[in-house]
Amino acid sequence: MSGVLVVTGGSRGIGAACARLGGERGYKVCVNYRSRADRAQEVVEHIQQAGSSAIAVQADVSTDDGATALFAAVDAELGPVTALFNNAGTILQQGLVSECSADELDWLWRTNVTSQFLCAREAVRRMSTSQGGSGGAIVNMSSVHSRIGAPGAFVSYAASKGAIDTFTQGLALEVVDQGIRVNAVRPGVIDTEIHALGGDPDRPKNIGPSLPMGRAGTPEEVAQTVLWLLSDEASYVVNAVVDIGGGR
């Protein structure tokens, strides 16, 4: 593989796994992060040791200024983006809809939905063959929660990912004739730090045995699918949402 890969939220978890694998497979990689510079630098060093180029760029991609600055930095240091993993996201503490607040929801929507719109906007402006680009591929981060609703725990998160499913469909059909393929992945229970943000750090260990495959997934397993969707091996795959849930 070759080209420039931008991974938002790339300092840990699934984003970090995707950034590392992308570098190992020949991409020049931008590791975007919001607050963990140390973790982002570890990912960059791994990619550099694998023989590829990488940079870490701090930016809050849920804002216009942050998304614009991120892609400007990539242009200057790596070249125009050819692949985007729209991964930045978060989750609220487990709770009922009757307990949610507008401030929490505003923050969740900005992080999980607005960020993907803004980063896709910047990527399309650079990839679109109708705007002088040479095409590219985008993979959005959804979740199996968008299918199951997550009642009694994470309805807000599920709703934000349902928006990403719809966004993926609309964007895919909007830009397919501009040389851009857009797809999404829907991971299930994956062993990452996001569960601590939701208030249950042991959730993968506790839920894993009840899943059809008998275990939680790993970030690396998700990264394999993301890199395939970004690659020419998936050249006829557009507007797909790929479940990575171990049968869930």
- Output the CA–CA distances (angstroms, integers) from residue 6 to 43, 55, 72, 217, 245, in the order listed: 13, 10, 12, 23, 24
Q: Which residues are catalytic?
A: 157
Element (H, E) at 147: helix 145-148
- Output the CA–CA distances (angstroms, integers) from residue 248 to 67, 97, 122, 160, 207, in the order listed: 33, 23, 34, 19, 11
Task: Indicate the angle between helix axes 13-24 and 219-230, nearest 10 degrees.
Answer: 50
> Which residues share a beta bridge with 4?
28
User: Strand 180-187 vs strand 241-244: parallel, antiparallel, or unpaired?
Assistant: parallel
